[in-house]
A and B are shown apart, each in its own frame.
Chain A
Amino acid sequence: MELFKNTDFDFLAKKWWFILPSLLLILTGLASVVARGGLLYSIDFKGGAEMEVRWPETPPIDRIRAVITSDLKGVSVVAAHDLTGSNEVLISTELPTGKDLAVLRQTIDQALSTITTRYSVRNFEVIGPQIGADLRRQALMATAGASGGMLLYLSHRFRLSYGVAAALAMAHDVLITIGVFSLLHQEISLTVVAALLTLIGYSMNDTIVVFDRVREDRRIYGREPLAKTINRSINETLSRTLLTSGLTLLTALSLLLFGGPVLHGFSLVLVIGIVVGTLSSIFIASPILLFWERCWPAGGLQ
């Protein structure tokens, strides 16, 4: 089977069809982050306690919320959701001020046992505020370091312009994903950070494949205008781009649909990231490369 054989689309001419909606999406996302007063971090990053409890029958959410609120003075948020009809309750609280973290679990246990003793704790986490701040900083540093490393390597292997274009496209993908997360009111947890790292890797990979072809085609068709070469390269790699994205999207979608709640945030990032990451190689990275090379043209190649 052969699809997309010898295509000849003028992608660069249609770039605004992608850039404008994407800018709009980023701005909306950022606006929602600002409107919500910052990103919605999971307790991994902000500190707090979370307990997943399996109830013998349909859990009485209101009563659970009531007993815990009355036992944990100084707790401002107590949320209890029914997790998809599985008789499981997710109880999350902020940290009570000045209380020992070590006894928090006992306190919640005691509160719950006033309703029934036949529940089982599936998962329990308490994370102190220092740890959260530490993790946030570390995750940020790791991501920044990794992106910087990629930029350096690409500048070395290709040219600075390629590195910058790829890095900007990647930043664009991360911004969109974080914005969409804020719009959908999804929490940023450690797993989501792992997924963002996966996305960065994927987006970078996709861009490099296109750029690699641009570099190769520049050697062959050095005389023609760069815009034409870039278009040619995108068209030549189009079949690969769409096929790879399609196949990885299949995997990510199956994780999203069948992977269960633990993998939900992770696979959501991947699905968004694969779509956006593929498009951004064509409509963000390539135009930036062209723009840069027009402003600061280089004599030879490499």
Chain B
Amino acid sequence: MNRALMRKTLFIITITLASVFIVARVPLRLGLDLSGGASLVLRVKAEDASAGRQREVLEQTRQILERRINAYGLSEAPIQPYGSEGNELLVQVPGITDLSRIKNQLQRRGVLQWYAVDSGPYTSTADIMASYGGVIPYDRKLVPTKPMADGQRSWFVLRSKPIVSGTDLRDARLAFDAMEQPVTAFTLSHDAATRFRQYTEANIGKRSAIVFDQEIRSVPVIEEVISDSGQIRGARSREEAEDLAVNLRSGALPAAIEILQERTVEASLGADSVRRGLEAGAVGLVAVVAAMLLYYSRAGANATLALLLNGLLLIAVLSCFRAVLTLPGIAGAVLTIGMAVDSNVLIFERIREELRAGKSTAAALAAGFSKAFATLVDTHVTTVVSCFFLFFFGTPAVKGFATTLVIGLITNLFTSVFVSRVAFDWELSTQGRTPKLSIGMAR
């Protein structure tokens, strides 16, 4: 028995077993279009920031949003920069199709400030104008309350300079007050606590206003000296108090946010796509295999082996790189299969030509493989070159296509040239001095 052939065979078996192991242990990750879930594209309105700081603003925003989403334990997928403008972010949340709560959470600026109250409440802005004689002093400002459940809101006049603001917070969390109502409890930083103590000491009995994103949340009367902690009341539900805490903890966004794109796919629809795609793929594969066996007889079996192994390797490599398979990725896989079929056909036709030209079986095999290989290198390298461009200029979807295709092309060169050759060599080695190939030619 030929030792080189044995070594090659062992190599192939090792790679196959490793791939089977990887595919079994590391499940292939499916994109949102296949597994169901939601994705958002956000634009960070960073144009207010000075030109040099825009990158910084984007990165800060990204981190803050990530903290907000992760606070719900929803997403392991990080928020990624998106698009070519450099101010867009892609948020992906697997397994969720109702985005309203998350959208609220993401869009909030999260700016918390604590002001001294000058006067109020007023039921309309006209009342205020009347009591201030038509002009609000420059060091005062007008802020509405958060609308009540029935949509009613009122106004307060506050001193313009906040006593403490969100950046002074050390922590915020959901808590319950003496009446078992949900509140958001917070702790101030050391610095702010000193300021706050001085202020509350001097103003016991007076009212103050907690303003969140330009709306008054509550107007507590200062009853005692407060140093480093306090509560925000007025949440209508436990979720609301919790959302506020998450917002405060994650910090205020340095820029406003606009939703540019929203996409949700119900899990069952994604599963439908996968199932139908797989079914269709299986029908196509069976048809191709049948045609190959019919046309090339035993060599067709070699091609089938190469084709299946190629599919296995492709999935294994994708799992290895933790790549996410999406519909365009499947398109890449389809082209891979097409090129794999082509590689086999190309090689087999070449071998037949050499046989027709009167070469011996072994010589025809060698010449067929080496001549076809030259062509295969050209077709494969050209496609890889184009994938390179797709990867660098393309959208994420197009990138998925390019990645799958490049991996598929590399595994294809291995299976259709190396593995298939070993299979032919086995066929020859079992025969005597004048071996014959079963490649569908009349003898």
Contact = CB atoms under 8 A, between A and B. Distances in A.
B411 to A, nearest CB: 16
A200 to B, nearest CB: 7
A172 to B, nearest CB: 17
Contacts of A259: 276-277, 280
Nearest to A199: B335
B269 A52 contact: yes
A195 B375 CA distance: 24
B248 to A, nearest CB: 22
A42 interface: no
Given A138-B394, A202-B338, A247-B341, A262 B84 contact: no
A102 B42 CA distance: 11
B301 interface: no
Interface string B98-116: 0110010001000000000
A258 interface: yes
Interface stretch (B140-148, B162-170, B397-405, B419-427): B397-405
Interface string B312-338: 000000000000000110011011011
Interface stretch (A8-16, A60-68, A125-133): A125-133
B255 to A, nearest CB: 16
Interface residues of A, number: 79
Interface in A92-111: 100-102, 105-106
A239 B387 contact: no
B123 to A, nearest CB: 27
A128 B263 contact: no
Interface in B267-320: 268-269, 272-273, 276-277, 279-281, 283-285, 287-288, 291-292, 294-296
A216 B370 CA distance: 13
Most buried by A among B103, B280, B292, B388: B280
B65 interface: no
Contact of B83 (A131, A148, A201, A270): A131
B352 interface: yes
B163 to A, nearest CB: 33
A170 B281 CA distance: 26
A50 B331 CA distance: 23
A250 B342 contact: no
B353 interface: yes
B389 interface: yes
B392 A145 contact: yes
16 contacts: A5-B356, A101-B262, A121-B97, A131-B41, A131-B88, A138-B395, A142-B393, A147-B386, A154-B382, A190-B328, A191-B331, A198-B332, A205-B339, A205-B342, A243-B349, A260-B276
Interface of A: 1-2, 5-6, 52, 100-102, 105-106, 120-128, 130-131, 134-135, 137-139, 141-142, 145-150, 152-154, 157, 190-191, 193-195, 197-198, 200-202, 204-205, 208-209, 212-213, 216, 236-237, 239-240, 243-244, 246-248, 250-255, 257-260, 262-263, 266-267, 270
10 smallest A-B Cβ distances: which pairs? A251-B284, A145-B389, A260-B276, A146-B386, A254-B284, A128-B260, A194-B328, A259-B280, A258-B280, A142-B393
